[in-house]
């Protein structure tokens, strides 16, 4: 599958978590950021545990894994949207939202390819759908 990168310019550093969550929940970026305003580090990031807790509270399940990001993009059904929590060997974290063939991120295409080739997924967050 060929992917299209949707670069989101926010004006803040280390806010990949907010970009991913705002797209996943279809909430305006600024509204999402305000929800976490007391939890945001001075560098703009939040603890990955905060992101995980929020996702669980909203009905997502977190699947622990050690897949390369490029493999995870091939394996998971991306039709309804998937959040990937990733890290590299230096334990730098990043959060990416993917829906269909679109990767939503706050980095440009070249930087995103670097993530795809250098980061492993540590958790996959998916929302279970009801089939009643």
Residue 77 belongs to some domain of the structure: yes
Residue 121 belongs to some domain of the structure: yes
Give the mean pLDDT of 33-46. 94
Give the mean pLDDT of 22-48. 94
Domain membership of residue 61 as a residue range: 4-127
Cα–Cα distance between 32 and 12 in angstroms, integer? Answer: 13
pTM of the model: 0.89
pLDDT of 74-119, one tens digit each?
999 888 899 999 988 888 889 999 999 999 988 777 777 888 888 8
Residue 19 belongs to some domain of the structure: yes
Mind giving me the DSSP string for 45-59? ---HHHHHHHHHHTT
The pLDDT of residue 26 is above 90: yes
Residue 132 belongs to some domain of the structure: no
Report which of 84, 78, 108 is spatially closest to residue 17, judged by C-alpha positions: 84
Q: What is the CA radius of gyration of the chain?
A: 14
pLDDT of 47-69, one tens digit each?
999 999 999 999 999 999 999 98
The pLDDT of residue 130 is above 60: no
Q: Let me know if 50 is exposed, middle or buried by CB neighbors in 10 A (0-12, 13-18, 19+).
A: middle
Residue 24: pLDDT band (50, 70, 90) is very high
Cα–Cα distance between 83 and 60 in angstroms, integer? Answer: 10
Residue 75 belongs to some domain of the structure: yes
Residue 103 belongs to some domain of the structure: yes
Number of domains in the chain: 1
């Amino acid at each position: 599958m060929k992917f299209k990168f949707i670069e989101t310019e926010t004006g803040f550093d280390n806010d990949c978590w907010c970009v991913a969550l705002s797209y996943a929940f279809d909430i305006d970026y600024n509204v999402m950021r305000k929800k976490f305003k007391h939890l945001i580090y001075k560098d703009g990031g939040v603890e990955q545990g905060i992101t995980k807790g929020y996702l669980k509270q909203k009905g997502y399940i977190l699947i622990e894994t050690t897949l390369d990001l490029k493999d995870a993009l091939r394996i998971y059904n991306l039709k309804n949207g998937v959040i990937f929590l990733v890290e590299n060997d230096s334990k730098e974290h990043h959060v990416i939202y993917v829906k269909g063939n679109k990767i939503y991120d706050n980095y440009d295409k070249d930087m995103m390819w670097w993530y795809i080739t250098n980061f492993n997924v540590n958790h996959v967050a998916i929302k279970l759908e009801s089939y009643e």
